[in-house]
Amino acid sequence: MTPQDNKVLACVDLSPYAEHVADYAAWAASRMDAPLEFLHVIDRHPQLKGGQDHSGAIGANAQEVLLKNLSEEDAARTRAEREQARSFLQGLRERALAAGASPVDTRQRHGDLEDTLSEQQDGVRLFVLGRRGATAAATQRDLGRHVEWTVRSLQRPILTVTDRFKAPERVLIAFDGSAITRKGVEMVAASPLFKGLPVHVLMSGKPSGDGPKQIEWARQTLEQAGFDVVAEIEPGDPETVIGHAIQNKGIDLLIMGAYTHSPLRKLFAGSKTTELLRAARVPTLLLR
């Protein structure tokens, strides 16, 4: 595996939130001594802008002229977007270099966000993306509509970041003894990303007979890797328990499994991942 196969890939749009993504991506890449790449995906099917009325019955010649005009407008808009993004990405690159990341590259792609990231993941060690983007100010959504479907399309860890950068100092692992959260404990133990940071392992939800055995395994695994660990079981609704722990213990970063159920199940039972992301309000490393 070459170093380029271990890169941190930060997906950014042209919103103010991109700077927060850049800061967290630079932090992660620097700690992991990994290459960093900023990727801007331009939608290949942007909504047509302007007040022209393209409806109604038109003749063949008029239709041909209309299609030509639309094509020219689309090409001009794409060129303008590309130039704007190139300048914006260069600014993020300089910001990341100043923060200690190296090397740092930038790239633009046309296409669908989820498909593009899925195609890139073989060479990626960690994805970084914002929970909100360019539409956040207009929609006032606290969780971008792209997050769930983007995360579901990937099989790599994804760091979803919030509004302001703060170098993480205390980490919380939401642990339930499942294969994905056990994998997360092993990942934390082996990765330089969290070395030197105290780790809190918290098991919540319905009481489990093997809960004490599971959380003891997590504690020992992390302590053997040199971590300062606090491990505890607190029954109760995970959203509430984890939310309180983040506030009361000064947690800067949450690690948890993500979207382990199918999208259809969400129609009937909702998504615990989305609920926890909304409750956490701190950067969250999602495990797949």
Claim: this prediction has a pTM higher than 0.85? no
State the pLDDT at residue 37.
98
Query: Angle of helix 211-224 relative to helix 179-190, nearest 10 degrees?
Result: 20
Are the beta carbons of 127 and 78 closer than 8 angstroms?
no
Q: Please, are residues 170 and 197 in contact by the beta-carbon 8 Å criterion? A: yes
Q: What is the pLDDT of residue 168?
A: 96
- The set of residues, in sequence order, having a beta carbon less than 8 Å from that of 86 and lying 6+ positions away, is 106, 108
Architecture of domain 171-287: 3-Layer(aba) Sandwich (3.40)
**Ranges of each domain in the chain:** 3-45+80-161, 171-287
Fold (topology level) of 3-45+80-161: Rossmann fold (3.40.50)
Q: How far is CA 54 from CA 47, 50, 215, in A?
A: 13, 11, 62
Write the DSSP symbol of residue 15.
S
Q: Which two tokens stand for residue 1?
A: 């595996």
For residue 28, the Cα-to-chain-centroid distance in whole angstroms is 13
What are the residues whose beta carbons fall under 8 Å from the beta carbon of 270, sequence distance 6 or more? none
Pairing of strands 229-233, 253-257: unpaired
Residue with tokens 């990937």: 154
The residue among 21, 13, 128, 19 whose CA lies nearest residue 81 is: 13
Amino acid residing at 113: L
**Which has the closest alpha carbon to 80: 162, 4, 14, 170?**
14
- Taking a C-beta distance cutoff of 8 angstroms, is the pair 232, 203 a contact? yes
Q: Give the containing element (helix H, strand E) for 200.
A: strand 199-203
Q: Report the distance separating Cα 45 and Cα 171, nearest Å.
A: 40
Compute how many other C-beta atoms are within 10 angstroms of the C-beta atom of residue 14. 16
- The series of mean pLDDT values per 10 residues for the chain, 288 residues long, is 71 91 98 96 59 51 71 70 87 97 94 86 93 50 60 87 91 92 94 96 90 96 97 91 92 84 40 66 87
What pLDDT does 45 receive?
53
Q: What is the rounded distance in angstroms from the CA atom of residue 62 to the CA atom of residue 55? A: 12
Ordered strands of the 36-42 beta sheet: 104-110, 36-42, 7-11, 124-130, 158-161, 284-287, 253-257, 171-174, 199-203, 229-233
Q: Nearest-CA neighbor of 271 among 279, 263, 283?
A: 263
| Distant-in-sequence, close-in-space partners of 139: CB < 8 Å, separation ≥ 6 | 145
Using DSSP's 3-state secondary structure scheme, residue 138 falls into helix
- Which pLDDT score is estimated for 273? 65
